[in-house]
Amino acid sequence: MERLHWVQHRCRQLLTTDSERGWYSTPNGLPTKSSQDAHSSPQRVSGKRRRVFARNGPHQQEYEAVSKGYKGNGIRTTKYSLLTFIPMNLFQQFHRAANLYFLFLALLNWVPVVEAFQKEITMIPLLVVLTVIAIKDALEDYRRYLSDKKVNNNVVQVFCGKQKAYIDKCWKDVRVGDFIRLSCNEIIPADMLLLYSSDPRGVCYIETANLDGETNLKQRQVVLDLPFQGGEITLENFHSRIECENPNNDLSRFRGYMEHPNGVRVGLHNSNLLLRSCTIRNTETVVGIVVYAGHETKAMMNNSGPRYKRSQLEKRLNTDVLWCVLLLIIMCLTGAVGHGLWVKNLKDPIFETDTETSPALAGFYVFWTMIIVLQVLIPISLYVSIEIVKLGQIYFIHNDLALYNEQLDSRIQCRALNITEDLGQIQYLFSDKTGTLTENKMVFRRCSIYGVEYPHKENAQRLEVYEAEENEAAGRSVTLKSGCSRKSLSCRSLSCNRSSVSLHTLTAESEEEDRLSNHIQSRTSAFCSRVAREVVPDPELVRKLSWLCSPAQPLSDGSSGTPCSLELTYITDFFLALAICNSVVVSSPSQPRHVVPEARTPLKSLEEIKLMFQRFSFSPFSALSTPQIRGSPRSFTSRLFSRGKTGSFTFSTPPNSTTDGSETGQENNLESSNLRRKLDLSSREDGGGAGQTEREDGIDDARIDPDGFGQKVEDLSKEDDCESDTDDELLYEAESPDEAALVHAAQAYRCTLRGRSPESLLVDLPGIGSLAVQLLHILPFDSNRKRMSVVVRHPLSGQLVVYTKGADSVIMDLTETSKGAEQAQEIYSHVREQTQEHLDSYAREGLRTLCIAKKVLEEEEYEVWLKRHLLAESSIENREELLMDSAERLETNLTLLGTTGILDRLQEEVPETIEALQRAGIKVWVLTGDKKETAINIAYACKLLRPDDELLTVSCGSKDACAVLLQELKLEVQRGGDRLMEPSAVESRSESSLSSPADFILVIDGCTLEWALQEELKSDFLELSCRCKAVICCRSTPLQKSQVVRLVRDQLGAMTLAVGDGANDVSMIQVADVGIGISGQEGMQAVMSSDFAISRFKHLSKLLLVHGRWCYSRLANMILYFFYKNVMYVNLLFWYQFFCGFSGGLMSNSWVLILFNLLFTSVPPIIYGVLDRDIPADTLMELPELYRAAQTSKIYVPSMFWINILDAFYQSLVCFFVPYFALAGSDVGDLSFGSPINASALLIILLHQVIESHTLTWIHVLVLAFSAASYFGFVLLFSLFCVTCSPPTNPLGVETLQMSQPLFYIICTLTTVMALLPRLLVRALHDTLNPATALKTAQMDKVDSERYCKRMRRWNQNHSRVNRLPVSADNPGLEPSTDTVVS
């Protein structure tokens, strides 16, 4: 309480003395009752703050005045209402240039002098397109409406001032200033300040999975200095007012203050704010006051809706549409000039003409008439067809079982609906490492303490056993499934109707995303898989820890095989730091609220501890009297946990505890009882390997056990078994898998974190028992400091200790320099050198490294720092910067304790995926924040690097050095590229390697990358990178990741794809042409910012190589086909103008003209764009080179566009002039002449698609038959029953007469064959000259048949030798029966 009063006092002093800090501060010092009127006047800067009063409080006038401008809590994500749907939808649709163009043509046809055909007919294409899109928009908006209705009608308890009680209200009826009461598992309806918690410490736990996908619990604190704090809440007495910042979308920041009636102001920060859509966990009741509601909440302000990106194909399409517009203008100008010349040269006409209009004006009129007649040249239905095709493609991607994750019950999410074709054109892939290439399921692997390396060989064997078990269970190489206990916290297991609602306050996504969100919430968030929890201790480290419990054995200087007192101090401090230097929340089924349990009676009395201190001798280091050494290894806190009585590892267990121990622990401790080694600092200079050998050599010596050490470890084994059940009941809610892995590692060595509160920690220590450690401060981890620290005061020694863990690149620089006695300098230098060697060794093995350090504070030093820190905590503006500066002041002159190596295994099939992507011609870059050695090791493991590749490391200390090194490496790559292409080198290289410029791998660190990305050097860096097979950027920041992606995208014009799983990958995901988020262990921030969301990295191969290639080829061919058929049909009308005086006349009725492209030939291209497959999926997966071949021979390029246009011109000439010459000299009319032309055009266009299609299914046949039948059925019915449907022409009986004559069918057959024959010949010639794809497909079929034959032979061998040669692990040459059984 004294510290709390000190904080209050300093806050008041701050508000009094620092009046010029910002709009939250008081203009005239500390507020008093007499100055409250001045405070209520708007003297501060307007537009920067929001005032909140209690809705049922005494300030009713103020509430009414300020609440008018605040939004209600009802949300609306729909675009339209019943009244606004038609006008708003039309307004949005007419933003498209094509729709405006056709609206202009429809209106133009109403002008009499340029009228081409009936006015109503010209409206049909536009009306059909607008109607189809309007129906689609209406269905989407109705789905949003249902989702909004479901959310708005959720019920919550709101305080009613009239009834003086809480009543049920819908979320939509909640207003700013309302008091809301929530229970466990309820979802928070609005952003509100936490005023009361049933937890006596004023703490509330929330889960933010609905907001950011993170399932770990986060702690929120009740606002300080409330009148009812610590007791029952009486809302009638709440007379305070709140002033805070205006609504914004920053989820991690909230600033403001609460002013009490006595004038005292209390700062408000993010820890006091409960955000909408989060869920209350492990807290029975909370009460808060709403400050932001509805669309002003941070959750809703972060709802940016579905992402929209323009694909490269769409950009190319717009260019070609402009070419079509130019072609249309040329045709219309030709008609206008031709008509003018025809009118001018017309003499003595035998038919009635307008002789009063001048030729120039007549030509002008005909220009606009031709625009109307030839309007089909601009494909209005193409845009609608593209949208339908993309929806169909997304449907098949979404339902691909190969992209389904059974473990998570999740499938791929397509969040950007308009860039599916870009998946088939990727050239550069930028990937994060942790959680993207790896599992992000951290497992404690090994550690180094006091410069001594502990390899934990049994732990490594355990991981291999787990992996083998998982592989056997799954039948393939898969990730370790979470074996975390499914024991739910009792508060979470409560049945709550409201908690079952999947909240959709962020986006109105599909029900599939609802299920994914619910599944994420149902999973454990503690990162407590079985493999992470069951850490096997290192026998040597267990042996040393056992000396803590052996009073009969004196500690030595380490030269006689026993650990020295200083080393034991390091070891105990190391594991204590692992246990308490974190933000882990502890719970168990019996303690669901995460409170600190009442400490059990320590196993030693205070008198025993006092005697233990007296026996604990530091005589070999009595000369270490400098403050640095005295403050660390000889600290009173460390000595507290050093010695004790035999058997003091025994903990008191509940009566119902069982004594069954784990087999792993028994085996480990049995081995520990046979271990004894000689400890000598000088023997450790060769690193962990030498130590490991000595431990192995000392096994025989351990059988001679004069001191009874073996018996002690056996006793420890039994006691460990007795407590294993109790420890297993603990549930750790960690913010990251690293934290959970370290806490479980400390637990394996009996240093167990059992409880946490804001002020204290309950820790079990070996030889001591349960101790309540006073927690003074937590300096949380941030990406700038790259470390976290805790400041604790030991309850018995009273010393102030800072424990710090963080990245080795930071901690090693913050450790103290060697000063004082010569022996101390030698020891500390040795510890630093050995630890650095172990760090490098861990990194080479691909382990994630963290350094552990400590610092003992003097009381005076702490008081000085505390004053500055309290100023930073109570500051309202610049609080984050001040807190960071305060933390950096404390984290200096640290004593290095040791380091940890944590294993983060590769995801399944990552090497195969990267190899396939490289074979497909995609350059893979890895952008990671890990150190260089770790990144290189992972690159080797995932086959990004191969043993014969040459590494180019760029690590410089200055910008000038970076420039010189880049130039040198460019020359080296050039020389190396020439060398690699020599015949001797070519023979040893694969086809995929030959295709790359050179097999060089560039590795660059974050500091050097900062210089390389500057304007002067980025061109050299980019040139060097392009000549390398792959690039690895280590120690890179999120900003640098996005800068690298932007550099490649903009400078090279390449198609880029970025994939990541965490919040630090969001920037590069958004910058890339295609962003892919992985729903992993780090929440859903990357998924929410991505275009596509997958659950495993291996899904990229199927997504890109198969679906990407299919989507691109389908859509590109469909667009080319659309242009072809429109140009082909329009040209028929154009050729007819040469025979009708360019008057805009038609040889068919206007209904057929309009419906030809709109109905009769519109459906087949859509089916073609959705279902066509040029190469089967299995072939594309086996031969990734086909992806690169599709890129090099692009389908949709200008040359292909013009080839199709020329082909359309040729086919139109054939289709027009064959009937013309066949019917020349006859007495047929215009409509009779147009009948075989239209029929031939239909057959040519449909059969053209059959030729271009690679797949022909019953669906294709059905659609083609339907198109032909619909045309002939329409024209026949039109000819039979329509007399005045198409004035001034009369189509009655025309089609029936033509179709009854054999000449009609002869003309159609001859025209169709002549028009399509060149296309068939060119296709056959192309396949003959470029047989690569066809041959590879055939080769693939041959490979499949060979595999089938091999399986048959193996099957026959197995059955013929089944009695004497069984399939087992002893016969590796044989495959399991699952691969050999043939049905």
The catalytic site residues sit at: 432
Helix (H) or strand (E) holding 1219: helix 1198-1222
**SS3 sequence of 1018-1081:** HHHHHHHHHCCCEEEEECCCHHHHHHHHHHHHHHHCCCEEEEECCHHHHHHHHHCCEEEEECCC
Residue pair 953/456 in contact (Cβ under 8 Å)? The answer is no
How far CA 918 is from CA of 840, 896, 910, 1194, 1251, in Å, comes to: 29, 43, 12, 19, 33
Phi, psi of 1078 (to 5 degrees): -105, 125
Residue carrying structure tokens 């792993």: 664
Rounded CA gap, 1261 and 1247, in Å?
11
| Cβ-based neighbour number of residue 1028 at 10 Å | 24
Q: Which of 1274, 1259, 1251, 1246 is nearest to 1165 (CA)?
A: 1246
**SS3 sequence of 217-233:** EEEEECCCCCCCCCCCC
Q: Which of 664, 728, 764, 671 is nearest to 533 (CA)?
A: 728
Phi, psi of 643 (to 5 degrees): -135, 160
- Parallel, antiparallel, or unpaired for β 950-954 and 923-927? unpaired
Helix (H) or strand (E) holding 213: none
Sheet strands side by side (includes 50-52): 50-52, 241-244, 256-259, 265-268
In this structure, what token pair is assigned to residue 654? 């509940």
Q: What DSSP designation does 284 have?
A: S
Name 1002's bridge partners.
952, 1031
Residue pair 1157/1110 in contact (Cβ under 8 Å)? The answer is no
How long is the chain?
1383
Looking at residue 257, its amino acid is: Y
- Parallel, antiparallel, or unpaired for β 179-183 and 155-160? antiparallel
| Cβ-based neighbour number of residue 389 at 10 Å | 24
Q: Which of 55, 45, 52, 56 is nearest to 22 (CA)?
A: 45
**3-state SS class at 457:** helix
Residue pair 428/1055 in contact (Cβ under 8 Å)? The answer is yes
The four Cα atoms 183, 187, 191, 196 give a dihedral, to 10 degrees, of 10
Rounded CA gap, 563 and 571, in Å?
10
**3-state SS class at 1366:** coil
Q: Which of 544, 533, 930 is nearest to 741 (CA)?
A: 533
| Cβ-based neighbour number of residue 1198 at 10 Å | 12
Rounded CA gap, 1120 and 1252, in Å?
11
Instruction: Report CA torsion sign: 501, 507, 509, 513.
Output: negative
Rounded CA gap, 399 and 266, in Å?
54
The four Cα atoms 866, 872, 873, 874 give a dihedral, to 10 degrees, of 110
Sheet strands side by side (includes 895-903): 452-454, 443-449, 895-903, 848-857, 800-806, 787-793, 769-779, 760-765, 752-756
